Chain A
């Protein structure tokens, strides 16, 4: 299995500011993903974080709003830019380890935008 940590675990931010969320895994993984879970809703995939290249975004999500970095095989960041109250959500990091095909999820970052 993979142990995933996210920082911060929660934050309250002002409209128009940006927040960077970090995801750290205890072992090298093949795939890293970022999901969003809005209040009372299911998980929606934002993007696939690609190591050494630009992230691959899902329909409805753009790099200017959600820039993503993945400098190595164990770490990724997601930035929520120019935040509005509609960005209030839980943001989850997810990984697929090399040794199996199972997808693991981090504890999530609960973001509230005022």
Chain B
């Protein structure tokens, strides 16, 4: 089965500290991977996708096929980064989500 795992359910970091949200996926060909974010009382929104190789709100994520990982990183966490983060992959036409990591940035 195509799976996405996020080992950390909760992650707390201090403001200004680096943050890394881990994501691993089950290997199958060429994956299409995403990070979605859900801020408090807001709808789910796309943060970034691996094919774009872009940086959004200071976040980056690199696809590592050898480790089957797509970890989300930011060098300096901000309070407004506190949110729920979901790693996801597209399987044919469907997007399958990981269990999510709740990030809390401590002022």
Contact = CB atoms under 8 A, between A and B. Distances in A.
Q: Do A and B come from one complex?
A: yes
Interface of A: 31, 33, 41-45, 48, 92, 94, 96, 102-108
B94 A42 contact: no
Contact of A43 (B45, B49, B86, B93): B86
A42 B43 contact: no
Interface residues of B, number: 14
A105 B95 CA distance: 11
B95 A42 contact: no
A42 B44 contact: no
Most buried by B among A92, A103, A105: A103
B94 A105 contact: no
Given A42-B86, A43-B86, A107 B97 contact: no
B97 A105 contact: no
A44 B88 CA distance: 11
Interface string B42-67: 01111001000000000000000000
A22 to B, nearest CB: 16
Nearest to B34: A103
Contact of B94 (A48, A102, A104, A107): A48
Nearest to A96: B93
B12 to A, nearest CB: 17
